[in-house]
Amino acid sequence: MACKPADSLLHTAQTNEEWQDITDSGLPRIEGPSLPSLTQRAQLDPVQAKQEVESSGSVTIDKAKLAATKQDTCPKLVELPVGSTKVVRKNEVMQDSYCDYYLYPKKGQSISIESYPKHMAANLISPIYYDFANGSYLVNQADKYVIRLSYEGIEQRYEPVDYEVTIQIQ
């Protein structure tokens, strides 16, 4: 692909104007030694590393990874251990009316959900809606899948719900 010469890109009125150096925009210059190293996070203590993830701004995935280590925080990222097809989360606590689980299955895999107690409803809400009460779901495309667990009990809920969920991807 060839580019036009710079003089043909400018109007004739603009060619007589001087070029202005815009490299000095008034912002502080960052020098090489003051740049944070890629291994700096490993050197932070766990509390500082956790705060860095929470305030990083890389929205949902960082928060979901952090929430996966906590029992009462949502949404959660589901990562299957190598060689495993099942993730069991015991002693989970639902503070709000629902909790989302993010997972990234491959095309052709099937997702099945079991929850205890039985008054917990499991639904796939993204990329399409599916009720897991109808059985497992066959993945049609590789994408981000959001599974929502929600309380569907008869009684009014006044306190957090303790539950257990098993997510199987085959």
pLDDT in tens, 24-48: 555 555 555 555 555 554 444 444 4
Q: Mean of the pLDDT values across residues 9-32?
A: 55
Q: How many Å separate Cα 101 from the centre of its chain?
A: 9
The predicted pLDDT at position 95 comes to 85
Q: Model confidence over 97-148: pLDDT tens digits?
A: 888 999 999 999 999 999 988 888 999 998 999 999 999 999 999 999 999 9
Question: Which residues have CB under 8 Å from 131's CB, separation 6+?
Answer: 121, 122, 123, 124
- Can you read off the two tokens belonging to residue 18? 């001087």
Q: Class of 70-169 per CATH?
A: mainly beta
Q: Which residue has the higher pLDDT, 6 or 144?
A: 144
Q: Mean of the pLDDT values across residues 9-28?
A: 54
Q: Model confidence over 46-89: pLDDT tens digits?
A: 444 444 434 444 556 666 666 666 666 788 888 888 888 898 88
The predicted pLDDT at position 43 comes to 46
Report the alpha-carbon distance of residue 99 to residue 86 in Å, rounded: 19
The predicted pLDDT at position 94 comes to 87
The predicted pLDDT at position 167 comes to 92
pLDDT at 93 over 80: yes
Q: Mean of the pLDDT values across residues 151-157?
A: 81
Concatenate the DSSP letters of all residues of 87-131 into one string: EEEEEEEE-SSEEEEEE-PPTT-EEEEEEESTTEEEEEEESS-EE
Question: Global pTM?
Answer: 0.58
